[in-house]
Amino acid sequence: MSDLRIGTDGVARCAWVGDDPEYMRYHDEEWGRALHGDRALFEKMALEGFQAGLSWITILRKRPRFREVFHGFDPAVVAGYGASDVARLMMDAGIIRNRAKILATISNAQLVTEMEPGALDALMWSFAPTEKRRRPASFADVPATTGDSDAMSKALRKAGFRFVGSTTMYALMQSAGMVDDHLTGCHRADG
């Protein structure tokens, strides 16, 4: 039970959520639910890339500002960003001001716009496991990477995408519902 936490609402959740109301909402309403669409997955890829080296709650708290300054993560808009946009983003304390991650987001948007509509979604979901896995009993049972996340990372890097390492892609797979790592006993666990 130490890897589960009973919230003030009496609901058992994965303990990484803690007591933060926004984290609880994210866990209950988003994390592990199937997410589809090129734009939605581009946003998820960008935010997971910005998260590298930081905590997800930091990104989650900054997500509204990220969405605002990156024009809703519309790949067609972000792909057209130039030097003045990079400078604008580097001055915005409401986001993570990391030049390499900003440039990667712009470059990744350009790659998405060169793909057929739906191709990013199809590519990413092609790495979702087809067989149901055993529900993890504890955090120790949750991997940082898998063969599927390694393969997704490799395919995306080969296509030119950046900040898409295997650990980052496994986190994306978890958050986008490609894998379900809600622990046994969590109210979101389906058995």
* pLDDT tens digits, 65-93: 999 999 999 999 999 999 999 999 999 99
How crowded is the C-beta side of 29, counted as CA atoms within 13 Å? 6
Known binding residues: 14, 27, 182, 186
CB 109 within 8 A of CB 78: yes
Predicted confidence at residue 129, as pLDDT, reads 94
Q: Is 56 a catalytic residue?
A: yes
pLDDT of res. 191: 42
pLDDT > 70: percent of the chain: 98
Positions at the binding site for Zn(2+)? 14, 27, 182, 186
Nearest to 21 by CA among 54, 48, 62, 60: 60
Burial class from Cβ neighbours inside 10 Å (0-12, 13-18, 19+) for residue 61 reads middle
Low-confidence ranges of the chain (pLDDT < 70): 1, 190-191
Q: What is the pLDDT of residue 57?
A: 93
Cα–Cα dist 153/159, whole Å? 10
31 is catalytic: no
Q: How far apart are CA 6 and CA 1, in angstroms?
A: 9
